Amino acid sequence: MKFFVDTADTAAIKELNDLGMVDGVTTNPSLILKSGRDIIEVTKEICDMVSGPVSAEVVALEAKAMIAEGLKLSKIAPNIAIKVPLTWDGLTACKAFASEGLKVNVTLCFSAAQAILAAKAGAAFISPFIGRIDDIHYDGTDLIEDIRIIYDNYAFETEILAASVRSVNHVIDCAKIGADVVTAPPSVIKSMASHVLTDKGLDQFMKDWAKTGQKII
């Protein structure tokens, strides 16, 4: 499974990237707002840091304007993936970009039917938002499983990019189902290293080591 980091915080991306934990980055208008930086400037910095795909999202709602914005974003760096919403206009833009050999991340997916359309329009990535589905009292990972079955049935090459990931359990469930990519905030990725029994065991080791009176260095 590939890990994308869902943030525009360059310091957080660098920390994880230096450990080999970053296969790509996803951003969106909300994350750009949180960064407080110019979208072109911060996206360029991220692209220079990370070798994998960096999703940069259009903000237009009509296909023609989406295509104009997407083409501008694509010029930031060769590893840009243009992010478009899963609307009919978004699918139209997706098809146009894919026809030019550009990577497209189709976002805000909430149904398997939508995922089929994105794959047929040439999306490189489909982004089902599992956390937001959980918010309305359904299991978001069920959608990942449905898309995985359909894509495998028909050999669609679109990668399933599980988004709106909010917990370590989300990551584990997506890995078991077979999502190609999971995009998560840095805090979720870092929390994967934590376990109460690891902490307990380390505490005991330190206490026992202190009793030996020894030093390694």
Q: Which domain holds residue 34?
A: 2-212
Residue 217 in any domain: the answer is no
Regarding pTM above 0.85, the answer is yes
The pLDDT of residue 140: 97
The pLDDT of residue 151: 98
Which positions of the chain have pLDDT values less than 70?
none
Total number of domains in the chain: 1
DSSP label of 129: B
The pLDDT of residue 145: 98
Residue 24 β-bridge partners:
4
Angstrom distance (rounded) from CA 106 to CA 118? 7
- pLDDT tens per residue, range 102-113: 999 999 999 999
Residue 17 in any domain: the answer is yes
The pLDDT of residue 137: 96
If residue 182 lies in a helix (H) or strand (E), which one and from where to where? strand 181-184
The pLDDT of residue 114: 98
- Residues marked active site are found at 83
Give the per-residue SS3 of the chain: CEEEEECCCHHHHHHHHHCCCCCEEECCHHHHHHHCCCHHHHHHHHHHHCCCCEEEECCCCCHHHHHHHHHHHHCCCCCEEEEEECCHHHHHHHHHHHHCCCEEEEEEECCHHHHHHHHHCCCCEEEEEHHHHHHCCCCHHHHHHHHHHHHHHHCCCCEEEEECCCCHHHHHHHHHHCCCEEEECHHHHHHCCCCHHHHHHHHHHHHHHHHHCCCCC
Rg (CA), the chain: 20
Q: Which amino acid is at 13?
A: I
CATH number at residue 183: 3.20.20.70
Cβ-contact 170, 141 below 8 angstroms? yes
- pLDDT tens per residue, range 126-152: 999 999 999 999 999 999 999 999 999
The pLDDT of residue 115: 98
